[in-house]
A = this chain, B = another copy of it.
Amino acid sequence: MDAVKVIEIKKSVYESNDREADKLRAELKAKGIFLLNLMSSPGSGKTTTLKSVINKLKSEYRIGVMEADIDSDVDALTIARETGVKSIQLHTGGMCHLDAGMTRQGLDELIDSDIDFAILENVGNLVCPAEFDTGATKNAMILSVPEGHDKPLKYPLMFSICDLVLINKIDVMPYFDFDMEACKKNILMRNPKATIIPICAKTGEGIDEFANWLREEISKNR
């Protein structure tokens, strides 16, 4: 369990990322694979949240995780050790986002393992990943309480493209000037269709609701 595969992904050569993303999405659907693209700022709790929800779902689905980072393999190791599911590390070579071609390079490694639920943990960044469709079935993001409720005002595109917004670290709300109602209002201003779930990945609060959202979306995709 102490070694995970590290893939140095290469810059995509496709002229139209949107076309490539639609193609990948259709291929995945045909194969019965649901792909979740999870995005957030650095340190919002993507890996801890994934650990929690994977441990709830791993008996129901064959799960595989791609951890994208510029460097290090700490996240893929954490997922492998603490959930036991297949986990690979994608190194982006300094790049600030993943596009559909890069996501495909990771999936090619994962799909060998006969999975039906793939998760991409994107590079920690609220700007660039929002601009590149990865081909995922659904986009989700985490906003954590310490970051502040004003973030939808400053990073409009990210909030507008996500089907699901998890508000993480609600256990520390008493220590921060965070207004949950203002936060929800700001998110819905950017994206009236967004599902919003307050969670605490560390204590498990809200993770059942996140797992139920995933079950429903996976079943819709079949």
Contacts and interface: CB of A to CB of B under 8 A. Distances in A.
Residue from the set A71, A123, A151, A171 with the largest chain B CB neighbour count within 10 Å:
A71
Interface stretch (A54-62, A106-114, A140-148): A140-148
A3 interface: no
Interface string A119-148: 000011111100100000000000010111
A77 B156 CA distance: 19
A70 interface: yes
A42 B175 contact: no
Counted per complex, copies of this chain come to: 2
A222 interface: no
B128 A96 contact: yes
A128 to B, nearest CB: 5
A96 B126 CA distance: 9
Contacts of A96: 96, 125, 127-128
Interface residues of A, number: 33
Given A42-B126, A42-B154, A71-B156, 13 more contacts: A43-B148, A70-B127, A70-B157, A74-B153, A74-B154, A124-B154, A128-B128, A144-B146, A146-B146, A146-B169, A171-B175, A172-B172, A172-B176
28 contacts: A41-B42, A41-B43, A41-B124, A41-B147, A42-B147, A42-B154, A43-B151, A69-B154, A70-B156, A70-B157, A71-B155, A71-B156, A72-B150, A72-B153, A72-B154, A74-B153, A94-B157, A96-B125, A96-B127, A124-B155, A125-B126, A125-B128, A127-B128, A144-B146, A171-B175, A172-B175, A172-B176, A175-B175
